[in-house]
Amino acid sequence: MADGNQTEVYVYEQVVILLSCVLSFLGSLVIICTYATWRDLRTTPRKLLVFLSVADLLSALSYFYGVLKVFNSNTKDCIAQGAISTFANTSSFFWTVAIAIYLYIFIVKSSQRLADSLVLYFHLISWGVPLSITVAALALQKIGYDASEVSVGWCWVSIQEEDHVLWMLLTGKIWEFLAYVTLPVLYILIKRHIHKAHEALSEYRPILATSPTSQSLSTMADRKLTLIPIIFIALRMWSTIRFLLMLANSPARQNPVLVTLHGIGNTFQGAANCVMFVLCTRPVRSRLVALLCCRGRETQSSSDALSQHTVHTNTDRANSPRAWEKEGEEED
C-alpha cells in the first residue's frame, strides 16, 4: 500500500477526487453567477457566500492540478500549487466562520448595522491572515512535497521539515479545529433564538403557527442552519483524522478508503455549498430552472427556424435555373 512514509495514491482515488474537484468548481461558479445575474438576490450574507465560493473555486483548481500530477518531489509547480491551495483552503475556513458570525449578529443581536460594519474586517482577516501565513511559509521554504501523508497527491507542508507539524497547524489545522468549535456553537445559538422568537410570535398570532407556508419556511431554515456545521464537519473530519493518525505514526492513515474520503472532503465544499444555497433554496432554484428552460426553448426555436430556413433555401436553389445549369455542367 505504501512505501516507507509515502502514501500511494491509486488511479481510482485520483478519478473520484478529480470528479469532486470538478463538481466543486462548477458549484462555486454557479453561486457566483447567480449572484451576478439577479440583483435582488444580492444580500450581504449571499455576498459573503460569493467570497467563500471564490476561495473554494481557487482551492478546487489547485487541488485538481495536484491530484492530476501526484507530485513526488519539491518541484516549482509543486510549491506553487501548495501555496495556492494553502491560501485558498485557509481562506475558506475564515469565510465559513465569517458567515456564521454575520448571521449570529444579524439574527440574534438584531443589529444589521453592526453586522454590515464587520464585512470590511472579514475581508482583512479572511484574505489577509491566509496570505500572510502563506507568504511566511514560502519565504521560509516550508511548503513542498509531503509524500501524501496529509494530502492526496497534492503538495502542502514539506514532510522533510523538522517543524512540519507546527506549520501544518499554522497553515490550516489550527483554523480547522477552531471552526469545528465555533460553527456548531454559533448555529446552535441562532437556532435557539429563532425557535424562541417563533414560539413567542405564535402565542400572539396563532394563525402564523398553523400556516403551512410559515411552517414550511421555518422548517427549511431550521434544517439549513443544522446542515451547515454538520456538512462542514462531515467533509473536513477525514483530513483531521489523517493528521492525528500521522502524529501517532499509525499506518491507518494510509488506508485507501480514508485517503479517498480525505480527498473528497477537502475538495467538495464548493459543491456542497451550491446544493445548500442554490439547489435547496427555492427562489434561486426556481429562477435557475426557469433560465435553463427558457434558454432550452430559445435554442430549440432557433434550431427549428434555422432548419426551416435551410429547407426553403435549398428548395429555392434547386428550382432556380442556375442551380440546374450548374448540376448539368458537373454531369458533363
Separation CA 101–CA 47 (nearest Å): 14
The DSSP 8-state label assigned to residue 295 in this structure reads H
Domain presence at residue 302: no
Whole-number Å distance between alpha carbons of 204 and 9: 61
Of the pLDDT bands very low, low, confident and very high (cuts 50, 70, 90), residue 222 is low
Within a domain: 305: no
For residue 127, give the 3-state DSSP assignment.
helix
- Distance between CA atoms of residues 250 and 242, nearest Å: 9
For residue 233, the enclosing domain spans 2-280
C-alpha cell at 269: 465544499
> What span, in angstroms and rounded, lies between the C-alpha atoms of 9 and 197?
51
Rg of the chain, C-alpha, whole Å? 26
- Quote the cell numbers at residue 172: 490550516
Cell of 137: 511559509
CATH number of the CATH domain containing 200: 1.20.1070.10
pTM attached to this predicted model: 0.81
In this prediction, residues 148-160 reach a mean pLDDT of: 91
Note the pLDDT tens digit of each residue in 18-64. 999 999 999 999 999 989 988 888 889 899 999 999 999 999 999 99
Joined grid coordinates for residue 26: 462548477
Contact 58, 84 (CB under 8 A): yes
In a domain, 315, yes or no: no
Lowest mean pLDDT, pick from 77-86, 193-202, 268-277, 303-312: 303-312
Number of domains in the chain: 1
In a domain, 301, yes or no: no
Let me know: does 77 contact 68? Beta carbons within 8 Å. no
